[in-house]
Amino acid sequence: MSTRSRAEQAEDHTRSVDQMRKGTTALAILKLLADGEEPLHGYQIIRQLEARAGGQFHFNEGLIYPRLHQMEHEGLLHSAWEGQPGGRRRKVYRLTDEGRDRLAAELRQWRAFSLGMDAVLGLTEGV
């Protein structure tokens, strides 16, 4: 018999979803930038990811920046400043060719993983 409260179970669920999301944030950013025609700044990326997630995921807003910087450092993204000095300036990010290659590879891995997990969980025949 479970003595865990509903709040504890909800917290576990949130933690579990958060763990799964953390491993795929880079993939989500790559896909978002690949789908758009314009480069995006950090705040736009957060808002658009949350809109795509439909309220399923909550992104810790500030933590998107170290991830973006790391991806830029790896050559997956390119950044540029928009706006005039003294006015509002935004650092916008766009995908590089290397980023597109990484996106294609990670999407292949994701599909293989997803299909594999569906098979393991018995979800391939429809639920």
Which residues neighbour 103 within 8 Å (Cβ) at sequence distance 6 or greater?
Answer: 27, 30, 31, 34, 95
In DSSP terms, which residues pair with 81 in a beta bridge? 91
Which tokens sit at 34? 């690949």
For position 90 contacting other proteins by CB under 8 A, the verdict is: yes
For position 6 contacting other proteins by CB under 8 A, the verdict is: no
In DSSP terms, which residues pair with 82 in a beta bridge? 90
According to CB under 8 A, which one of 78, 91, 94, 100 is a site residue for other proteins? 91
For position 97 contacting other proteins by CB under 8 A, the verdict is: no
Cβ closest to other proteins, residue 45 vs residue 103: 45
Cβ closest to other proteins, residue 43 vs residue 113: 43
Q: What is the Cα–Cα distance from 30 to 33, expressed in whole angstroms?
A: 5
For position 100 contacting other proteins by CB under 8 A, the verdict is: no
